[in-house]
Amino acid sequence: MNKSKQTGFSFGNFLIILVLLVFGAMFGFKLIPAYMENGKVQNMLEAISHDPDMQTASIAELRSSFDKRASVNWVTTVKGADLVIEKGQDGRPVLSTSNEVRIKLMGNMTLLLEFNPSSSGK
């Protein structure tokens, strides 16, 4: 009689994989909002930079426009006062900023994310 050996996951292997998946999901659920907000900031900077009404706007008007858009989009990590505004070679304003987001993972572990959105796309 040929007895074939059974293969597959043991209950212990299943639990290890389940724990890793749960920690991965928890990690992802904490990171996704920070990346989504950074995407909103990036889109707002590009929209302001390409807005024909903003081509000749003053620095104060550009900051005010950003604050209004941030209020509508529920962006809280960046304010208009945090923007660095320069004139591009094509005459458009180039808006950029840098910000840090600290995400408490568990216990004394914190994740630091650094974002540098810019209307120039760099």
Residuewise pLDDT in 10s, the chain (122 residues): 566 676 777 889 999 999 999 989 988 999 999 999 999 999 999 999 999 999 889 999 999 999 999 999 999 999 999 999 998 888 889 999 999 999 998 889 899 999 999 998 76
Does 10 fall in a domain? no
Does 95 fall in a domain? yes
Distance in angstroms (rounded) separating the CA atoms of residues 19 and 36: 26
Print the domain residue range for 23: 18-50+59-115
Report whether 40 contacts 75 (CB < 8 A). Answer: yes
Does 22 fall in a domain? yes
Does 2 fall in a domain? no
Q: Angle, to 10 degrees, between the axis of helix 11-50 and the axis of helix 59-72?
A: 140
Whole-model pTM: value is 0.81
Number of structural domains the chain divides into: 1
Selection from 48, 30, 40 nearest residue 72 by Cα: 40
Does 84 fall in a domain? yes
Distance of CA 16 to the CA centre of its chain: 30
Does 67 fall in a domain? yes
